[in-house]
Amino acid sequence: MDFDELYQIAKSVVNPRKLSENAEAGGVGAAILAESGKVYTGVCIDTACSMGFCAEHAAAAAMVTAGESRVLKMIAVGWDGRIMPPCGRCREFISQLNGDNVNAQMMVKEGVVVTIKQLLPYDWKKDD
């Protein structure tokens, strides 16, 4: 699967909406291509007390719930269709789910694909 297809899948789950007086969801959608070839999606949930989470976290949770942990490709898309790089928390989170995820490809903006290892060059879990 190429990033154009993954982009369309991530964009399809974007649906900004107010959940309550203190929470909103769906402003960012993410899609993860797992080792099995399945695609997992998620949306962000933003809360007043910063207890929410990113779309990448939601997609990763769906993947783990399904019994997988290896990410091949990942993309996040904002409400305006813009490709967004994963935040530092998401980079670290995905890297810890599976040792091979440092090689996962992330589209960080249109036409730019990098690995998690490139996004996290000084890995605290490695001695090198």
- Band of residue 128 on the pLDDT scale cut at 50, 70, 90: low
Domain residue ranges in the chain: 3-119
Residues 67/27/33/102 CA torsion (nearest 10 deg)? -90
Picking from 26, 83, 84, 34, the residue whose alpha carbon sits closest to that of residue 60 is: 34
| Cβ–Cβ < 8 Å for 81, 11 | yes
What's this model's pTM, rounded to 2 decimal places?
A: 0.94
DSSP β-bridge partners for residue 84:
76
Average pLDDT estimate for 121-128: 77
Architecture of domain 3-119 in this structure: 3-Layer(aba) Sandwich (3.40)
Compute the distance between CA of residue 113 and CA of residue 73 in angstroms, rounded to an integer: 9
